[in-house]
Amino acid sequence: MSKTLITKERLHNWQACMSGVRWFLEKFPQSGEFADVYAALIADKRTDDAGWLADRVFAELDTVELVGQTLALCGADETKIKARAKDGDVVVTTDDYANAATTGGYANAATTGYRANAATTGGYANAATTGGYANAATTGYSANAATTGNSANAATTGGYANAATTGDSANAATTGDSANAATTGYSANAATTGYSANAATTGYSANAATTGNSANAATTGDSANAATTGYSANAATTGDSANAATTGDYANAATTGYRANAATTGNSANAATTGDRANAATTGYSANAATTGYSANAATTGKHAVAAALGYCCRAQAGETGAIVIVNRDDDMSIKHIFASKVGENGIKPGVWYELSADGNPVEVQQ
């Protein structure tokens, strides 16, 4: 079943209130697409229900799907915008350099022209553009901003107000709580500052950054970094040379690409990498570091933190009261030896790099 198809069964699984379920069955007896149901809720001024539904649906979408749905909510579709312009909608423009702006609640602004900006200040008032260099901005609560053009930025400041872009070098930024930012374009960055406001990118060199608690950052492109500063805000990357870093407690960092490092400074914030030459490092209390790739080292300095180097030609280092785990593998990656020890036992010193010798004994090395 489609992730965006709303049915009675899904509403029951999400434990929707009876009032909301009755409204849905009255409006959509069989089922309804998320964007259509969302628009109908807003039209009926059931704004809390609209926000509740968006939270459930967005939680199940990947970055590309999130961008697509945000674009759909904002109406960033050239055909639809031109149709509204033909109908005489005063906040729609199709000419180049022709801006659209609204200040009322539920008042949308849309443009299709080159360098034609769209801006709204009202709650639930969306801004959408499809032209190159065409920015979209909103300041209202639950007011989304979306762009599809190259170098077209999207920004929101309201809570639950998402920003999405699909163009190259098109940035998305939000400052409100639970306000997500997502991009799919090359070198298109996503940034959020609010609580539970996630940032995600799929393009090459497209970075994602968050500062709020429980606000995750994720990237899938090469050289696209992910960074978070909030408590329990994770960072993850899948591209080569795409680093992940976190500074908050319980905020994990993970990478899967070649030369993609993972680093954390918070307590109980783990760092893990699976790519070759991708190092993992942590400084917090009980914050573990683990690597599985070729020549990918693991280091920890916090108390009770384990550094595990499980790949080929790897090294590990731990601080006082920590521990190390090192594997020695054959060229075919089969395990020859494995060594595990607490710091202070078996001659293992704090802050010293170790690798295994051919016979499986730990040997001090210079990093």
Structure tokens at 137: 């901005």
Task: Give me the pLDDT at residue 130, please.
Answer: 87
Beta-sheet pairing, 253-255 with 271-273: parallel
Q: What is the pTM of this model?
A: 0.82
pLDDT digits (tens, 9 = 90+) for 319-364: 999 999 999 999 888 999 999 999 999 999 999 999 999 999 999 9
Distance (Å, whole) CA 177 – CA 183: 18
pLDDT above 70 covers a percentage of the chain that reads 95
The larger pLDDT score, comparing residue 136 to residue 71, is at: 136
The larger pLDDT score, comparing residue 85 to residue 268, is at: 268
User: Given a cut of 90, is residue 72 above it in pLDDT?
Assistant: no
Confidence band for 24, pLDDT divided at 50, 70 and 90:
very high
Q: Bridge partners of 227?
A: 209, 245
pLDDT above 90 covers a percentage of the chain that reads 58
DSSP, residue by residue, 242-308: --EEE-STT--EEE-STT--EEE-STT--EEE-STT--EEE-STT--EEE-STT--EEE-STT-EEE
Instruction: Give the angle 276-318-227 at the CA atoms, nearest 5°.
Output: 55
- For range 60-75, the mean pLDDT: 75
Task: Give me the pLDDT at residue 101, please.
Answer: 86
Distance of CA 149 to the CA centre of its chain: 21
Q: Which of 94, 84, 95, 91 is nearest to 106 (CA)?
A: 91
Distance (Å, whole) CA 228 – CA 96: 38
Distance (Å, whole) CA 126 – CA 106: 8
Going by the DSSP 8-state scheme, the letter that residue 349 receives in this structure is P
Confidence band for 80, pLDDT divided at 50, 70 and 90:
low
Q: Which of 217, 167, 169, 168 is nearest to 191 (CA)?
A: 217
Burial-class residue 122 by CB neighbours within 10 Å (0-12, 13-18, 19+): buried
pLDDT digits (tens, 9 = 90+) for 152-211: 889 998 878 889 998 888 899 999 888 889 999 899 899 999 888 889 999 999 999 999
The amino acid that residue 34 corresponds to is F
Domain boundaries, the chain: 5-60
pLDDT digits (tens, 9 = 90+) for 216-261: 999 999 999 999 999 999 999 999 999 999 999 999 999 999 999 9
pLDDT digits (tens, 9 = 90+) for 38-58: 889 888 888 788 878 987 888
Region label for 86, one of left (φ > 0), alpha (ψ between -120 and 50) or beta (otherwise): alpha
Confidence band for 85, pLDDT divided at 50, 70 and 90:
low
